Amino acid sequence: MKILITGSAGFIGAALAHSLLARGEVVIGVDNHNDYYDLGLKEARLARHANHPNYTHVRSSITDKHNIEQVFDQHRPEIVVNLAAQAGVRYSIDNPSVYIESNIVGFANILEACRTHQVQHLVYASTSSVYGANTKLPYSENQNVDHPLSLYAATKKANELMAHSYSHLYSLPTTGLRFFTVYGPWGRPDMALFKFAHSILIGQPIKIYNNGQHTRDFTYIDDIIQVLLKVLDRPAMPNPRWTGLTPDASTSSAPYQIYNIGSNKPVRLLEYIHALERALGKVAQKEWLPMQPGDVPNTHADITKIQADFCCAPSTTVEKGVERFVQWYREYYQIKNTK
């Protein structure tokens, strides 16, 4: 198959491209290589498969409608996985226009290109952040998600609504995946695990918000990719039992699906930090801070639906996942293991 991945130099995008090439697919990657975080890391992710004969890389933003149309015209992808987006809850508070441009305008360009080129399946990244002010745990795809606590979450909720309109109007199969706190090797430097590891190793205190009491449904990158590979192979189908009288928020009479992808095993932040300290062989200095704007105290994914439809679920423990991250981190940054 010809599969187009946007955000292909990103954390999840690069890992997905690597796995798809390993199973023999033709992959077209699109990424604008912005400077939100270390460009060298993005180039290093890409270098793992940039010279593969089945891989083509296009340096472009999804906000550039003309370039996106050219990519679709030239390569005619059968499946599209949209992972390009401006990420980050806190960054969205200070830089709202970037999120509107990338996450709304850019996604609209992808939807329109998928429609005009009759793409068989659009899979796109949503986020656990859409659950916002909800406090009923675990988070289920059937819950109301109309109370986002950050603009980032609001743009991702908007993506789900936009996708549904295209599924309804044009019978475009779309599947939205609500990722829960993805971590692991080749991850993002703006995420807690990366920041904590760096600070611990150089002897600086780590900033712990909400006094470390909040919990997160940490999900290891390999588990995310395993689920993605299964999802993209099965285009979303209409739900024949869907009715507007008792609407199911995660399905539709159109070919539209929403899934949570999480571990279903929330871990307290302090336990996550302890796992990192054990893997590094060094105790962290801690700076205790209050909850940050846009944050939520707890996340917990109900993964009943993804398990039922695809017979798969994340299985990597936090201890094992953090250990693998530390091993990669030491190798990538050439840090001697002093344990």
Report, as residue numbers or ranges, the catalytic residues.
Answer: 152
3-state secondary structure labels for all residues of 286-317: EEEECCCCCCCCECCECCHHHHHHHCCCCCCC
Cα 190 to Cα 47, 49, 90: the distances in Å are 21, 24, 10
Helices 192-202/318-332 angle, 10° precision: 60
Question: Residue 145, SS3?
Answer: coil
Beta bridge partners of 216: 267
Least Cα distance to 220 among 254, 255, 182 occurs for 182
Nearest to 264 by CA among 302, 213, 214, 296: 302
Evaluated on CA atoms 294, 185, 279, 334, the torsion sign reads negative
